[in-house]
Structure 1
Amino acid sequence: MAARRGFRTIACWLAGLLISFGLLLPLPAGRAQDYEVDLALVLAIDCSFSVDSREFALQMEGLGRAFMRDEVKQAIAHGVRQRIAVTAVQWSDDQNQKIVLPWTIISGGADADEMGLILMNIRRELAEGGTSLSTALTFSGALLASAPSAERRVIDVSTDGRNNSGPPVAPSRDRLVAQGITINGLTILNEWPTLDTYFENNVAGGPGHFVIPANDYDAYGEAIMRKLLREITGPGIT
């Protein structure tokens, strides 16, 4: 990736660390012509007790391969600015959230391929814990304050469980939606067959939000590709 973008990635990484300690406030929304990217996307990766090592590996492989798909590259290229910003967070209970990929700009096919390889090789950094969707959303929302200025701001959360740690999830969702942030869900139905309904009622929200179900982790790869395609393209694609 270009040197200038690498510098920006480091700067955003440092800003993300400050956000973790509450030292930065959200940036004001810019005018349309001031936007740096079409989309600022937080990938919120479930590392709770219900996700074993095989399932975690399937998540990361699915995410990585999705960015390397031609459909996703074309979706980025068809944007007004032809670039998006992505960061990745691992999360479990209300005490465990960690940035594993700082804000990074993707502005072409080579960048997308590099992003894919990075994601496929990210290790599990968190100890297993409960499932705190509420804290994962709050942490992810704070990271968006240090993102490059974006026309759309989205949190992409995938999980196979319901909120069982930390505060209730719906108020956390509502606070982020009030800031203009969209929360989308990918629900893996291997443990909770009605998890997609739970997400629609309690987790997903904001402009153009949606939930995509996957029957199990083996179906995750195709589901996350369709999810990323919709998030990058924006409202209007089904």
Structure 2
Amino acid sequence: MRHLILALFLASPALAQQIETDLELVLLADASGSIDADELLFQRQSYATAITDPAVVMAIQNTLYGSIAVTYVEWASNQATVVDWTIIADMDSATAFADALIGPPRQASGSNAIGAALLYGMDQIEGNDITGLRRVIDFSGDTMANTLGPAITTSRDRVVAAGITINALPILRNNDFRSNSGLVNLYKQNIIGGPNAFVMPAMDGPAFTDAIRRKLILEIAGTVPNTAIATALLQQIP
């Protein structure tokens, strides 16, 4: 039945307006000047690897509707949608999203506009034709700089007031959590908000992909890292 619903959604624009799913998820990834071309590609590959991980696909299929809606956006001075809203319900649809993520050229660049990025993420959720039981922005970045646009906390408060949760993945440079703990605390204080909001730090390099995978599982399940449910879910990851 899930496969039939997905096929109908893809085949008919009229039916697309009627789609219901468990989660509307905006993956809001840093593409500012601190992220070079290799790092940008690595981030995309990491999200592609994570979204097609069997544990992530299993978490999706274990939701009430057996599906989630995902879009991938990169932010800097401007914001750009790299992969538009996609219904993911199985490995095939997850793989299609991952394949679409790798190809497009860089579309966002420049300095930092975190407040504007959060509002752009909200607009993507409120402007789609999808009804999700939960709505989440998954923000990642390596800075708190906000040189353009509205203030971060003002934007966060608007997003949360719209019923959208913001989670954050601070990217920690040099694989040193202690020296980067200030960024983690700033993300907790200024960026996250809404029901079950949480911060999950990610070291750069290979650990980044694993952090994304863990974060996706928690967001799909609608839980937070320090709960018994979250611990049980994460223990299932090989």
TM-score (ref. length: structure 2): 0.83
- 1:99 equivalent in structure 2: 81
Q: For residues 185-200 of structure 1, what are the structure 2 equivalents within 5 Å?
A: 185-190=168-173, 193=180, 194-200=182-188
- On the 8 A contact 2:24/2:135 being kept in 1, the answer is yes
2:10 corresponds to 1:6? yes
- On the 8 A contact 1:58/1:218 being kept in 2, the answer is no
* Structure 1 position 51, deviation (Å): 0.3
Q: What secondary structure does 1:211 align onto?
A: coil
* Structure 1 position 10, deviation (Å): 10
Amino acid at match of 2:153: A
- 2:113 equivalent in structure 1: 132
Q: Which runs of 5+ in 1 are unaligned?
A: 16-33
Q: What secondary structure does 1:41 align onto?
A: strand
Deviation per CA, 1:14-60, whole angstroms, max 9, x where unpaired? x9xxxxxxxxxxxxxxxxxx970000001112110000112111100
Q: 1:46 to 1:175 in 2, by over 3 A?
A: same
- 1:61 equivalent in structure 2: 45
What is the CA–CA distance in structure 2 between the aligned matches of 1:216 and 1:10, rounded to whole Å? 42
2:94 corresponds to 1:112? yes
Measured on the aligned residues, the alpha-carbon RMSD in Å equals 2.3
Percent identity of paired positions between Structure 1 and Structure 2: 37
Paired positions, count: 215
1:173 to 141, 156, 168: 156
Q: What secondary structure does 2:146 align onto?
A: coil
- 1:46 equivalent in structure 2: 30
- 1:123 equivalent in structure 2: 105
TM-score (ref. length: structure 1): 0.83
Q: What secondary structure does 2:45 align onto?
A: helix
Using the TM superposition, name which of 189-198 and 111-120 deviates more.
189-198
- On the 8 A contact 2:156/2:191 being kept in 1, the answer is yes
Q: Which runs of 5+ in 2 are unaligned?
A: 224-228, 232-238
Q: For residues 61-100 of structure 1, what are the structure 2 equivalents within 5 Å?
A: 61-93=45-77, 96-100=78-82
Deviation per CA, 1:131-161, whole angstroms, max 9, x where unpaired? 1110000011011113310000000111111
Deviation per CA, 1:110-151, whole angstroms, max 9, x where unpaired? 11122222223343222x211111000001101111331000
- 2:190 equivalent in structure 1: 202
User: Taking CA–CA contacts closer than 8 Å with sequence separation of 6 or more, which of the two structures ends up with the larger relative contact order?
Assistant: 1
Amino acid at match of 1:65: T
Q: 1:97 to 1:11 in 2, by over 3 A?
A: farther
Q: What secondary structure does 1:111 align onto?
A: helix
- 2:221 equivalent in structure 1: 233
Using the TM superposition, name which of 40-49 and 163-172 deviates more.
163-172
- On the 8 A contact 1:90/1:98 being kept in 2, the answer is yes
Amino acid at match of 1:74: M
What is the CA–CA distance in structure 2 between the aligned matches of 1:230 and 1:92, rounded to whole Å? 26
Moved over 4 A (4+): 7-12
